[in-house]
Structure 1
């Protein structure tokens, strides 16, 4: 068996051709389990998925030298955390939709917990914390909030019309 370093795993996730891997989608079962595990309503997860707008296997090279991968566009600056804490390989974050969603939910839950439930007392604070998933830089956060709220509103309207 070949021993790979973390750097090798990053290289595989970024450089190997997509044909080397089988992309697996987010299933309703895994979304439900992730929602329950991280105490994040599915519609909130759906708002992130719609805002990020990517699919399993997708990769985007950022101007700062990092990469965003998969449906939740998990930034490579987070990959080492998932590798060291949970043994999750970067290639799985890129190609496995359920693992990618779980990584995103973990990051979202972290932002919510860091702010503290008692400190999220109005919608503006909630939206700001929700947009911290993308960026804490005020201007960038504000733009993400607009997109995220628009997507959440759209999803809520569809859900309301289904009743």
Structure 2
């Protein structure tokens, strides 16, 4: 299991499960991390919505999506539990939004929260800021790839002193986070095998 000693213990599971789910479901890892940070749920947490649905568990997965998943034996209690299952389910749902919904990458990703334009736009703006911050954090630790450019070259991890600066930003309170400007944001996919190794 991945461990990041520069992150507070309460963030370890969220980060590890988000990265694992992003790789498994082929969604940009920094977007998955940003959604997980925005949802900020906890195991067992249930939040009632005005439309009668609930947001459940670590990824605040909406129970309206579970109606179609009950035939596979997936229940709200499964989604509310600790562990990576809710992150996998959230990444699956995020992938479906990115592949099937209309709009740009950000609007599609913000559909995780709401398709209603006024709620989507607020979520979208904050998602971009958080994803930029997580892109820097990922680039400091992993070989990453810009998924928006065909034939893009991989980005190698940065120097240890920069890792400490980026880690400080990630663990800082929201008011003190210095995020990368939106114009320089790049969705990142993690590469776990060494691209220079030809064996």
- The normalised TM-score by structure 2 is 0.58
Change over 3 Å in CA distance of 1:55–1:138 after alignment to 2: same
Asked if the contact 2:30/2:132 (under 8 Å) is kept, the reply is no
Q: Which runs of 5+ in 2 are unaligned?
A: 1-12, 141-161, 167-199
**Larger relative helix fraction:** 1
Pick from 50, 60, 80 the counterpart of residue 67 of structure 2.
Answer: 80
Counterpart position of 1:114: 100
- Which residue of 2 is the match for residue 95 of structure 1? 81
RMSD (Å), alpha carbons:
2.3
Q: Give the distance between the partners of 2:67 and 2:111, measured in 1 at CA.
A: 19
Cα distance in structure 2, aligned partners of 1:36 and 1:67: 27
2:81 & 2:31 partners in 1: Cα distance?
Answer: 22
Ranges in structure 1 where 5+ consecutive residues have no aligned partner: 1-24
Alpha-carbon distance in 1 for matches of 2:107, 2:85: 25
Match of 2:105 among 111, 117, 126: 126
Q: Distance in 1 between matches of 2:20 and 2:137?
A: 22
Aligned residues: 130
Q: Show CA shifts across 1:103-153 (max 9, x none).
A: 1111111111114xxx87xxxx11111111111111111000012112112
TM-aligned CA distance change 1:31 to 1:150, over 3 Å:
closer
